[in-house]
């Protein structure tokens, strides 16, 4: 199997936590890795260029190939610079693992415009900025692998994370379309919702829960989705605690009318509208 051997993969937010595990495993599997990390705090403030450099040093010490990048994903210029780092160092870009993220948790009534904008700027716009700059190169070379970090907060909701959840589900919408547009160019796009002990979850899980969720459990799925052989595209997965699961949207059997129903008619058949006893595959029609 070719796997990721010789491929060039950009991992954003790779200076620690999940991103570090992704970068280390990809390098062990033979990928040449761009380790991107601004080195900011959990809420997105500040910067520290040493974070990415330390991961690069770890990779190089074991014979792998990696370079550091410290640009922010949150701007178009930063996204372009991250991809350019891959091109300058390795001459191509085969994979994007869009992992960089921040948290600004607040209940919706207390959320500020700044809290909303900052989280979407890093997660949703950040993924767009990096992927959009890599996309033409992937099309031209007829090969690409994109993995975005979604979240169960986006798939199912979580109290105090309206901004984060909106951004994370937005990324599922992004990969659904990229999978369609990339199909004839050999580009696969998927999403992973990791469940792991990182600085993002340090104060929202118990110590016992955190011990059961080492971040390295998620990394094999990321590496597989970056591999040449992967067939899935436009798919979302949950990974954590040794369990790997694809998740999908389904439709109820539904109620059909041969005329525009009245509100009362629709209400009378509402049980059919919400009946999932015989679920149908998701889709537009």
Active site residue ranges: 164
CB crowding 236-265: b at 16 or more within 10 Å, else e: bbbbbeeeeeeeeeeeeeebeeeeeeeeee
Phi first, then psi, for residue 107 (nearest 5°) are: -60, 155
Dihedral angle sign, alpha carbons of residues 38, 41, 43, 45: negative
Task: List strand residue ranges (DSSP E) for 101-223, in order.
Answer: 144-149, 187-194
Residue pair 187/198 in contact (Cβ under 8 Å)? The answer is no
The CA-to-CA distance between both ends of the chain, in Å, stands at 38
Tokens of 274: 């919400």
Dihedral angle sign, alpha carbons of residues 238, 244, 245, 246: positive
- Report the C-alpha gap between 220 and 159 in whole angstroms: 29
Q: What is the DSSP string of 75-86?
A: SHHHHHHHHHHH
Query: Around Cβ 159, how many Cβ atoms within 10 Å?
Result: 10
């Amino acid at each position: 199997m070719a796997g990721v051997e010789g491929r060039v993969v950009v991992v954003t937010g790779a200076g620690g936590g999940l991103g570090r595990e992704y970068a280390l495993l990809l390098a062990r599997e033979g990928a040449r890795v761009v380790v991107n990390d601004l080195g900011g705090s959990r809420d997105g403030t500040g910067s520290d260029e040493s974070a990415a450099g330390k991961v690069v040093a770890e990779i190089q010490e074991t014979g792998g190939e990696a370079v550091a990048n410290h640009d922010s994903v949150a701007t178009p210029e930063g996204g372009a610079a991250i991809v350019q780092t891959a091109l300058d160092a390795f001459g191509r870009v085969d994979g994007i693992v869009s992992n960089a993220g921040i948290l600004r948790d607040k209940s919706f009534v207390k959320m500020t415009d700044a809290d909303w904008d900052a989280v979407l700027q890093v997660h949703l716009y950040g993924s767009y900025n990096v992927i959009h700059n890599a996309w033409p190169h992937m099309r031209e070379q007829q090969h690409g692998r994109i993995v975005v970090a979604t979240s169960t907060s986006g798939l199912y909701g979580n109290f105090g994370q309206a901004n984060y959840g909106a951004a994370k589900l937005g990324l599922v919408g992004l990969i659904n379309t990229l999978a369609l547009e990339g199909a004839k160019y050999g580009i696969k796009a998927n999403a992973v919702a990791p469940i792991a002990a990182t600085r993002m979850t340090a104060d929202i899980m118990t110590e016992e829960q955190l011990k059961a969720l080492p971040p390295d459990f998620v990394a094999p799925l990321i590496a597989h989705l970056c591999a040449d052989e992967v067939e899935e595209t436009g798919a979302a997965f949950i990974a954590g605690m040794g369990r790997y699961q694809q998740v999908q949207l389904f439709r109820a059997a539904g109620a059909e009318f041969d005329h525009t129903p009245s509100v009362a008619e629709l209400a009378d058949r509402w049980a059919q509208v919400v009946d999932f006893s015989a679920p149908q595959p998701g889709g537009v029609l």
